[in-house]
Homo-oligomer: A and B are copies of this chain.
Amino acid sequence: MDKICYEPIGIIHSPFDKPQGMPIQSLGAKNVSGSVEIFPQYAEALKDLEGFSHIVLIYYFHLSNGYDLQVVPFLDDVPRGLFSTRAPRRPNPIGLSIVQLNRVQGTTLFISDIDAVDKTPLLDIKPYIPSLNPKGKIRVGWLERNWGRFSQKHADGRFVS
């Protein structure tokens, strides 16, 4: 099938200049401040965004290179199928973070809880709408018994190559 090509709509800025030592997921990045610089041609598309307290950022894992079909996740000791993990080295290196939107000033979004590396190319912004989340019992597979490890863990560079 043909390739699907995108172009960045902006750049994410964060305090993390490399993946090593970064928080794992935005939950581990609580209160980490950053910003998103949207390219000026999209300024008008930012109208109404400030009404949302949280936004979904979809971005390119630009430092990721290649992938393995199974990986040992940060929160486990045994290999897991890649699609059951959030590892950045994926067939299509696309990242997804829900961040807090504090303020919009011109084409700059001031955000918190950002877990992406500095200079990450942004592909899309969507409003975060909690009503769209599934209700009822949710199972989280291999994470079920490993979640307790979360708070102690930071990325160690294993997913960069």
Q: Which residues of A are interface residues toward B (Cβ below 8 A)?
A: 1, 3-9, 25-27, 42, 44-56, 58, 60, 69-70, 80-86, 90-92, 94, 96, 98, 100, 113, 121, 123-134, 137-144, 147, 150
A1-B8, A100-B134, A113-B134 given; 18 more Cβ-contact pairs under 8 Å: A4-B5, A5-B6, A6-B6, A26-B132, A27-B131, A27-B132, A44-B70, A48-B80, A51-B141, A51-B144, A52-B139, A53-B134, A54-B138, A83-B124, A86-B126, A94-B94, A128-B140, A131-B140
The number of times this chain is found in the oligomer is 2
Supposing A5-B3, A90-B124 touch, asked if A140 and B134 sit within 8 A by C-beta, the answer is: no
